[in-house]
Amino acid sequence: MTKISLYQLFCGILFFQQGTTIIFGFSSGAGRDAWICTLLSTAFGACLVYLFTVLMRLQDGLMLTEWFPALFGRYVGVPIAWLYFVLFFYDASRIIADLKFTINMIMLPDTPEWAVLAMFMLVAVYMLFNGIEVLFRIAGILVPIVTALYALQIILLLSSGTMHADFLLPVAGEGWARIWRNVWPLSVMQSFGETLLFAMFWPLVVNRRKAAKVSVSVVFCSGLFLTVLNLLIITTLGEGVYKRSIYPTISMLRLISVGDFIENLDALGLMFFIVTTFFKLSFYMFGCVFAFRQLAFVKNDRRIIVPLAAVSYCVGITMSNDIVEHIQSGFEELQYYVWIPLMIGIPVLLLPFAWKKSKKLKEGT
C-alpha cells in the first residue's frame, strides 16, 4: 500500500510550488516591490491552503475527486469532480508548453521542440509507471541538493559584486495599488492555489492530521524561497530589466562572474527549472491518472498512463504560437475564468456542506 511520509510530502509540495515560477519570476509586474508582493501572497496563500486542509479533514480519507460525489451525489458531484480532472489535464499541458518555449529560447535553439518534449514526457511516463511513492521519495532526496545549489548561487552572486541594494529603493514608491494588483489574484493562485492538487494525495500520507500542518508550513518555506529569489533578481537586474525580462532568473545567473573564472551559470538556473518542472508535471499527471481511475472505475492505472500522457503532449505542443500569447492567456484570462472558480469558488461553497455532513456523522456516532 502506498504511504507517503510527512517529510516527503513537504519536499513534494515545495518542488510543486516552485515549479515554473522559479524561472518566470514571481510577481514581476510589481517591479522592485515584487518581494513585498511575494510576502503578502504567501500569507494569503497559507490561508488558502489552510482552507483546503480543513476540507480534507472534514472529508477524512477521501481524494479531491471523491469529495463531490460523496457530498452532492452522482448527478451533481460527478461532473464537478470531472472538472478538476480537466483542470489538472490543462495545467499539465500548460507546463509542457512552458517547457517548449523555455528550452528553445535558452538552451537548445536548433533542436526540434517535439524531440526534447518527447524525451521529457518519456521520463515523466516512466515516473508514472513507478508510482507516486517513488516521486515523493525522489523529492525527498533532491530537495537538500537543490537547496545547497541555491545557497551556492547566493554565495556566487554576493561574491561577484553585481548586487545593488539601492535598486530596492524607494520601497513601495509607486504606491500599494501596484502591489495589491499583483498579489491578487495572480500571485496567490499561481503557486499556492494550485496546491489544491495535493488533495488528491493527502489520503496517502501516513499521518493525515499532521499533513495539514506540514502543507501550510511548506507555503511559508516556499514563500521565503521566492522572496529571497526576488530580492536577488531585483538587486542584480534592477526594476526595468526585471519587469521586461521573460526569464529574469536566467538573466541574473548570466551576470555571475567570480574572478573571470566562474561564469555562464545559466545552466544552474535551467537545472532548477528542469527539476521543478518535472516534479510539477509529474504531480499533475498523477492527479489526472488518479482522478480518471477513480471516476471511470479503471482497475489498472497502467492502462491509462500512456494515452493520457500522449494526449497531454499533443495538447501542450499545439497550445500556443509563441511565449507572449502563452503568458497572456495564462496570466490574464486563465486565472479569472478557470482558477478562481475552481480553486477558490467551489472549495468555499463546499465548506458548509462538508461541515454539515461531518457534524451529522459525529452526531450519528
Partner 1 sequence: MKDVLWPWGAQMFVHYPWVVSMAFGAAALLLSCLTWIRWNKK
Which residues are at the interface with partner 1 (CB under 8 A)?
74-75, 78-80, 82-83, 85-87, 90, 93, 97, 295-297, 315, 318-321, 325-326, 328-329, 332-334, 336-338, 341
Q: Which is nearer to partner 1, 15 or 85 (CB)?
A: 85
Nearer to partner 1, 101 or 279 (CB): 101
Cα 107-259-143 angle, rounded to 5 deg: 50
Q: State which residue, 114 or 337, has the beta carbon closest to partner 1.
A: 337
Q: State in angstroms the smallest separation of the CB of 185 from partner 1.
A: 14
Helices (H), the chain: 6-18, 21-24, 34-58, 64-72, 74-102, 113-130, 132-160, 176-182, 208-244, 248-254, 266-295, 302-317, 323-328, 346-364
The cell for 117 is 518534449
Which residue lies nearer to partner 1 by CB, 74 or 360? 74
**Nearest-angstrom CA–CA distance, 152 and 155:** 5
- Phi, psi (rounded to 5 degrees) for 196: -55, -25
Within 13 Å of residue 138, how many CA atoms lie on the same side as its CB?
18
DSSP state of 31: G
Q: Which is nearer to partner 1, 225 or 292 (CB)?
A: 292
For residues 36 and 183, is the Cβ–Cβ distance under 8 A? Answer: no
Q: How far apart are CA 335 and CA 252, in angstroms?
A: 28
Tell the smallest beta-carbon distance from residue 17 to partner 1 (Å): 23
In the bound state with partner 1, the residue whose beta carbon lies nearer, of 50 and 82, is: 82
Q: Shortest gap between Cβ of 232 and partner 1 (angstroms)?
A: 31
Q: Which is nearer to partner 1, 106 or 338 (CB)?
A: 338
Provide the Cα torsion 199, 205, 211, 212; round to 10°. Answer: 30
> Would you state the cell numbers that stand for residue 272, as one nine-digit string?
532548477
- ∠291-293-294 over CA atoms, to 5°? 65
Residue 258 forms beta bridges with which residues? 262
Three cell numbers written together for 97: 508548453
Q: How many residues does the chain have?
A: 365
> Taking the complex as a whole, how short is the minimal distance between the CB of residue 64 and partner 1, in angstroms?
14
In the complex, minimum distance from the CB of residue 280 to partner 1, in angstroms, rounded to a whole number: 18
Q: Which is nearer to partner 1, 265 or 319 (CB)?
A: 319
Between 222 and 335, CB nearer to partner 1:
335
Residue with Cβ nearer partner 1 (76 or 123): 76
Residue 335 CB, nearest approach to partner 1 (Å): 10
Q: Which helix (H) or strand (E) holds 59?
A: none
Kindly state the smallest distance separating residue 328's Cβ from partner 1, in Å.
6
- Rounded to a whole number of angstroms, the minimum distance from the CB of residue 95 to partner 1 is 13
Q: Is 117 within 8 Å of 317 (Cβ atoms)?
A: yes
Contacts of 34 (CB under 8 A, 6+ apart): 25, 26, 27, 28, 182, 230, 233, 234, 242
For residue 45, the minimal CB distance to partner 1 (Å) is 23
